[in-house]
Amino acid sequence: MVLVKILGAIDALAALVFLSMTFGLTPYTQLILFCAGILFIKGLFILTGEPLSAIDLASALVLLVSIFITPSAIFLWTPAFLLMAKAVVSFF
């Protein structure tokens, strides 16, 4: 149960990174890499049949791409909302 809350907190942190990029703030590269790495590791649960892990894999990819280029707003808002929804559900 505690693990679910920790993973939800990581989702919330990644959503905040996406939202900060949306509003023009530049998060530290180390924070982006940390969130992308953890989301990628969480995304590997797709191999066990967890379909929502695809959100984690896609979000990790967008975070890694955002280091080099500025993605469109839709590529920042969508993962932010989906990750925040996953975070809220994991806390209840």
pLDDT 10s per residue in the chain (92 long)?
898 899 999 999 999 999 999 998 989 999 999 999 999 999 998 888 888 889 999 999 999 999 999 888 999 999 999 999 999 999 88
The closest alpha carbon to 59, from 9, 21, 28, 15, belongs to 15
The pLDDT value given to residue 56: 93
Q: Write down the domain spans for the chain.
A: 2-91
pLDDT of residue 77: 95
pLDDT score recorded for residue 10: 92
User: Residue 57: which H helix or E strand, with range?
Assistant: helix 53-68
Tokens of 88: 């809220």
Task: Tell me if residue 52 falls in helix, strand or coil.
Answer: coil
pTM beyond 0.85: the answer is yes
Tokens representing 29 are: 């590269």
pLDDT of residue 36: 95
